[in-house]
Copies of this chain bind each other. A is one copy, B any other.
Amino acid sequence: MPFNDTAVRELVERVCAGEVRSLARAISLVENDTPEAQAVLSACFPFTGHALRIGVTGAPGAGKSTLVDRLARSWRESGRKVGIVAVDPTSPFTGGAILGDRIRMQERLGPNQIDDGLYVRSMATRGSLGGLARTTADVALVIEASGKDIVLIETVGVGQDEIDIVRLADITLVVLVPGMGDDVQSLKAGIMEIADIFVINKADREGADRVEKEIRALQSLAQTHESRIPPVVRTIGTSGAGVPELLGVVDQTRQWLAAEGRLEVRRRQYWRARMEDMVRLALLKEARAHGLSPEDFAHHAELVATKQEDPYHLVPELVAEVFRARLAASTPRMKE
């Protein structure tokens, strides 16, 4: 059934009222980039901006999911409503995150329990036109509009994808573990820059001191202009040890960021990058509609691959043609 504007408005009203099935439906509309996606997001937008958005990233196998579950449970106990977006683009063969969604949701709740104040969504979409970071941000926005106080965005891995994804967070936790062979030095450069808090999880393992030393050494090299050095917290996700301390550090960090006006600065920076991305996508859609369909691209690529055309000359011509074609399409009546 296609949605009209009224249907979208009613759906988003139910989302904002905390109705879980409507939330799942709204997310699907956004995630699948349906024609209704923009209307859903527009309707949700005014109801966002109040939640604290927390990014959790770090090396695979660092125990991020267990830690995120612990954090979510603690916040639930203090009455906060929590949303979780778990992004896992790494498991194409097993169905990965999509399959894991329900299993994890169940584990978080326990059997025969329903908690309307907790919503978990797993995502494994790869290769969509707008990219995973865009989709994650839009899904997080819809979840936030459903009245959550805290939205956790959890990623697998520490690559550029993950950095792009957690850019929407107000506070980012980078989770490391001792002795993974995965040295701190081998982490992507950007990770050091986005970390507000370092978490050494599985801290009962040998090598926790060494990891902390490496973090400190990189920090001193980084010579950041920040007046605050990101704290390092040790946790054991499986037992919950260190989680209360971590909650405290998250809260202090939030207060510090707010007092310094940095939350606002970050959100402004985020929207600036995000809107540039949205503009880029919108322009590409215009190009596809005006002379650069996938078939057109295939044709031109054929000419370039066989050396009949030089791409460095061809591309500017194609772009000029997009502008001409769109102009012709938008002003047919003036010429009649």
**Is residue A275 contacting chain B, with contact meaning CB distance below 8 A?**
yes
C-alpha spacing A180/B323, complex, angstroms: 52
With A188-B90, A275-B301, A305-B267 as contacts: A61 and B221 at CB distance below 8 Å? no
Point out the residues of chain B lying under 8 angstroms from A323, CB to CB.
286, 323, 326-327, 330
Point out the residues of chain B lying under 8 angstroms from A311, CB to CB.
45, 271, 274-275, 278
Q: Let me know if A280 and B280 touch, CB within 8 A.
A: yes
Point out the residues of chain B lying under 8 angstroms from A269, CB to CB.
301
**Is residue A287 contacting chain B, with contact meaning CB distance below 8 A?**
yes
Point out the residues of chain B lying under 8 angstroms from A188, CB to CB.
89-90, 157, 159
**Chain A interface size range:** 35 or more
List 4 A-B pairs, minimum CB-CB distance, nearest first.
A159-B159, A181-B181, A272-B301, A60-B186
C-alpha spacing A61/B280, complex, angstroms: 36
A166 to B: closest C-beta gap in Å: 14
C-alpha spacing A330/B323, complex, angstroms: 10
**Is residue A74 contacting chain B, with contact meaning CB distance below 8 A?**
no
Point out the residues of chain B lying under 8 angstroms from A274, CB to CB.
301, 311
Q: Let me know if B300 and A275 touch, CB within 8 A.
A: yes
